[in-house]
Amino acid sequence: MTTGFYSFWALSMKLFAFVFAAAMPLSSAALSCSFEGAWPFQPDLEGWEPFAGDGEYLGDIPAPNVEVKEIQRGKEAPGMSCGDAGTLRLSVSLPDTTLYEIKDLGVYFRVVRGEDAYGIFPAIPLAGEANGNGYGILLAWLDGQPSEQNPINLELEVFFVSKGLQIGLPSVVTIHAD
C-alpha cells in the first residue's frame, strides 16, 4: 500500500511539473506590459449634429482644460518588465459653461515647439477614460534606462475634435521631463 501511495504521489508531482512548465510561457505573457489609457477616437460623420436635444446650437467647440497629472520616465534597460516605459498622465476636460458632452469629442495633440522624438503623441485624435466632463488620458512610450534618455521639452496645442471632425479652439501645455 505504501508503494501505491508513492507511485501516485510521484505521478502527481510529474503532472504538476508538466502543467507548471507548460503554463510558464503563458504567465510571462500575461505579466507583460499593458497600458490602457487612450484609444483612437471614433468620428461619426453621418449621425452627429452640433445641436442639443432641444435643437439649441452647441456653439463653437471650446478649448480644453488640460492638466499634466504625472510624467514618469523609464527606470530600467529594455527587457521583460515595464520598467523601461515612460508614461504621461493627463486630465483633459470641458469648461463648465459648454453644452458639449465629452462622449462626443476626441482630443488631438499637435507639437508646436520641440521634437516628439519618442513618438508620445499619435497623429490621430484620442479618447480616454471618461470622468465627468473630461478624459483621463495615459500615454506610454519606450523610454529605456535613465542613462539612455534625452530630456523631453515640448509645447503642445491640445484641442477637441467633434464626431463630425470639427476642430475646437486650442489650449497650450508644456511637457517637460529630464
Give the tens place of pLDDT for each residue, 96-113. 999 999 999 999 999 999
Q: What confidence score (pLDDT) does residue 4 get?
A: 58
Q: What confidence score (pLDDT) does residue 40 get?
A: 95
Q: What confidence score (pLDDT) does residue 80 get?
A: 61
Q: What confidence score (pLDDT) does residue 13 get?
A: 46
Looking at residue 83, the DSSP 8-state letter turns out to be G
Residues in the chain, how many? Answer: 178
Q: How large a percentage of the chain has pLDDT more than 70?
A: 79
Q: Which pTM was predicted?
A: 0.76
Q: What confidence score (pLDDT) does residue 154 get?
A: 97
Looking at residue 57, the DSSP 8-state letter turns out to be B
Q: Which residue has the higher pLDDT, 48 or 153?
A: 153
Q: How far is CA 139 from the centre of its chain?
A: 4
Amino acid at 33: C
Taking the C-alpha atoms of residue 74 and residue 85, their distance in angstroms, rounded to an integer, is 5
What separation in angstroms does the CA of 61 have from each of 20, 50, 90, 96?
55, 9, 20, 13
Grade residue 145 by pLDDT with cuts at 50, 70 and 90: confident
| Closest C-alpha among 106, 111, 81, 77 to residue 94 | 106
Grade residue 83 by pLDDT with cuts at 50, 70 and 90: confident
Mean pLDDT of 1-21: 47
Q: Are 78 and 127 a contacting pair, CB within 8 Å? A: no
| Closest C-alpha among 102, 26, 10 to residue 61 | 102
The pLDDT of residue 175 is above 60: yes
Mean pLDDT of 26-52: 71
Grade residue 146 by pLDDT with cuts at 50, 70 and 90: confident
Q: What confidence score (pLDDT) does residue 84 get?
A: 86
Residues whose CB is less than 8 angstroms from the CB of residue 4 and which lie 6 or more positions away in sequence, other chains included: none
Q: What confidence score (pLDDT) does residue 18 get?
A: 41
Please state which CATH class domain 39-177 belongs to. mainly beta
Amino acid at 11: L
What separation in angstroms does the CA of 176 have from each of 4, 22, 41, 138, 153?
68, 45, 26, 16, 5
